[in-house]
C-alpha cells in the first residue's frame, strides 16, 4: 500500500480516525450528508483502509470528500472506534496540499472559504464579522439581519457589545499586538504557506477555465465557485 496512505498516516487525525472498518453502516445510517448527498462514509473508510495511491488520488479529486458536514455523529456510533469525519479531514488537507481540490466543483470552493473565514481570522481575529455578512450574499438570514447589518453600531451598542472598540466586550476590536501574534502563529505552523497554496492552485484553475481572477471576493472565479451547483450531487 502506497506512499499517499503513509503520508495520510502522518496526520494525527487520520491515525485517530482509521482503525479497521467492518462495513456495518452505522455511520452512514446516522450521517446527515448521506441523507442529502450521494455520500457514504462507510464506503470511504472501507476503501481508504486498503487503498493504493491511485485510488486515493481519485478520492482527492472527487466531489465525494467535500460532502461531509463535520458534525461528528459518525464518531459517536462506530463499533470499531473509527471516525470517518477525521479521515475526511485528512483527505481534504492532502487534496489542497497537492492541488487536486481544483478538479472538483465542491473542492474549488476552498478558495472562497480561505478568502472569507480564513482571511477573517488574520484580519479581525474572528472567523465571522458582521460587516462581511452582507444581506445580498445571505438573503436567507432574513430582514431582521438586514436591519442589524445596516444599523450595526446602534444595534450592538443597545445589546452591550463593544463593536470595533478596544477593550473587553463582544465584537471588540482585537488589538494589533494580538493580530501580529496570530499572524506569527500562522507563519510558524505553515498556515500562511497553506493559504498561498490554495490561492496558487486556484489561480491556475481560473486560468484553465478562462475566468477572471484577482484578490477580490467578486472576481469571476469567486462568483463561479460560490454559486455554481451543477446538481449532480444527489443519488
Partner 1 sequence: MSKEKRDIWRKYQKSIGDDNFFFVRSCIRQNFFPASEQAFLHILRNELGKNVVEDARHTTCSGIGYHSDVVNFDTLQTIIARHFALMTEAKLKNVAISCVTSFGLYSEVLETWKEFPSELEKTRENLYKATKREFEIPENIAHCSDIIYKFREEIKNKGKNRLVNAETGEPLKIVDHIGCHYAKIFPEYGEGGAEFPQVLTGMIESWGGQTVDYPERRHCCGFGFRQYLVQANRGYSVSNTYKKLQSMEPYKPDMIIANCPGCTMFIDKWQYTISEMEHKTFGPDKTGIPVLTYEELAGLVLGYDPWDLGLQMHQVSAEPLLDKMGIKYDKDKKFADKSGKIFSIPKQPEYIL
Partner 2 sequence: MRAYDTKYQTIIIGGGIAGMTAALQLYKFGIRVLIIEKEDNLGGHLNKWYKLFPGFVNADEVVSNIVSEINDKRIHNITSDEVISIDSIYDNYIVKTSSGHSFEAESVLLAQGFNTFDPTKKEEYGYGLYSNVKTSVEVEKILKEHSNITIPKRIGLIHCVGSRDEKAGNLHCSKLCCVSAVKQSIELKERFPDAEVICFYIDLRMFDNGFEELYMEAQVEHGIKFIRGRLSECSENIDGSLVLKVQDTLTGLPMNVSVDWLVLMVGKEAAKLPNLDKSIDLKLAPNRFVAPENIFYNPNQTSQPGIFCCGTVSGPKTIHESAADAKAAAMSIIDYLNRK
What residues from 141 to 200 belong to the interface with partner 1 (CB under 8 A)? 141-148, 150-151, 154-161, 166-172, 174-175, 177-178, 181-182, 184-191, 194-195, 198
Instruction: Check binding of 26 to partner 2 (CB under 8 A).
Output: yes
Residue 215 burial by CB count (10 A; 0-12/13-18/19+): exposed, middle or buried? exposed
How many other CB atoms are there within 10 angstroms of residue 200's CB atom?
11
Q: C-alpha distances in angstroms, 139 versus 127, 142, 145? A: 20, 6, 9
Considering only residues 40 to 59 of the shown chain, the ones binding partner 2 according to CB under 8 A are: 40, 42-43
Give me the half-sphere count of Cα atoms (radius 13 Å) on the Cβ side of residue 150: 8
Instruction: Check binding of 27 to partner 2 (CB under 8 A).
Output: yes
CA distance 212 to 192: 24
Binding residue for partner 2 (CB under 8 A) from 31, 56, 148, 206? 31
In terms of CB distance, is 20 or 154 closer to partner 2? 20
Q: Give min distance, CB of 175 to partner 1, in A.
A: 7
Stretch that binds partner 1, among 40-48, 52-60, 205-213, 225-233 (CB under 8 A): 225-233
CA distance 134 to 184: 30
Instruction: Check binding of 36 to partner 1 (CB under 8 A).
Output: yes
Q: Residue 7: which of partner 2, partner 1, none does it interact with, CB under 5 to 8 A by kind?
A: none
Considering only residues 61 to 120 of the shown chain, the ones binding partner 2 according to CB under 8 A are: 77-81
Binding residue for partner 1 (CB under 8 A) from 129, 203, 211, 219? 129
Instruction: Check binding of 38 to partner 1 (CB under 8 A).
Output: no
Residue 88 burial by CB count (10 A; 0-12/13-18/19+): exposed, middle or buried? buried
Residue 46 burial by CB count (10 A; 0-12/13-18/19+): exposed, middle or buried? middle
Alpha helices (H) along 126-230: 142-150, 152-158, 176-188, 191-209, 220-227
CA distance 216 to 4: 34
Secondary structure letter of residue 115 according to DSSP: I
Binding residue for partner 1 (CB under 8 A) from 2, 3, 6, 12? 12
Q: Residue 42: which of partner 2, partner 1, none does it interact with, CB under 5 to 8 A by kind?
A: partner 2
Instruction: Check binding of 185 to partner 2 (CB under 8 A).
Output: no
Stretch that binds partner 2, among 35-43, 84-92, 107-115, 152-160 (CB under 8 A): 35-43
Q: Give min distance, CB of 38 to partner 2, in A.
A: 9
Amino acid at each position: 500500500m502506497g506512499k499517499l496512505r503513509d503520508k495520510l498516516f502522518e496526520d494525527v487525525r487520520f491515525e485517530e480516525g482509521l482503525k479497521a472498518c467492518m462495513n456495518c453502516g452505522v455511520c452512514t445510517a446516522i450521517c446527515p450528508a448521506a441523507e442529502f448527498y450521494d455520500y457514504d462514509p462507510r464506503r470511504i473508510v472501507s476503501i481508504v483502509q486498503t487503498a493504493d495511491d491511485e485510488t486515493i488520488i481519485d478520492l482527492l479529486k472527487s466531489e465525494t470528500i467535500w460532502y461531509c458536514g463535520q458534525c461528528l455523529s459518525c464518531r459517536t456510533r462506530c463499533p470499531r472506534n473509527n471516525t470517518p469525519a477525521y479521515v475526511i479531514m485528512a483527505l481534504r488537507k492532502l487534496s489542497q496540499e497537492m492541488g487536486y481540490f481544483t478538479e472538483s466543483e465542491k473542492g474549488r470552493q476552498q478558495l472562497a472559504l480561505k478568502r472569507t473565514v480564513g482571511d477573517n481570522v488574520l484580519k479581525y481575529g474572528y472567523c465571522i464579522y458582521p460587516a462581511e455578512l452582507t444581506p445580498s450574499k445571505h438573503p436567507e438570514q432574513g430582514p431582521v439581519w438586514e436591519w442589524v447589518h445596516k444599523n450595526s453600531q446602534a444595534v450592538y451598542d443597545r445589546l452591550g457589545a463593544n463593536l470595533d472598540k478596544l477593550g473587553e466586550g463582544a465584537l471588540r476590536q482585537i488589538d494589533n499586538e494580538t493580530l501580529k501574534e496570530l499572524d506569527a502563529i500562522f507563519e510558524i505552523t505553515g498556515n500562511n504557506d497553506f493559504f498561498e497554496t490554495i490561492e496558487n492552485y486556484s489561480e491556475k484553475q481560473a486560468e484553465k477555465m478562462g475566468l477572471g481572477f484577482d484578490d477580490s471576493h467578486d472576481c469571476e472565479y469567486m462568483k463561479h465557485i460560490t454559486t455554481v451547483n451543477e446538481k449532480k450531487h444527489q443519488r
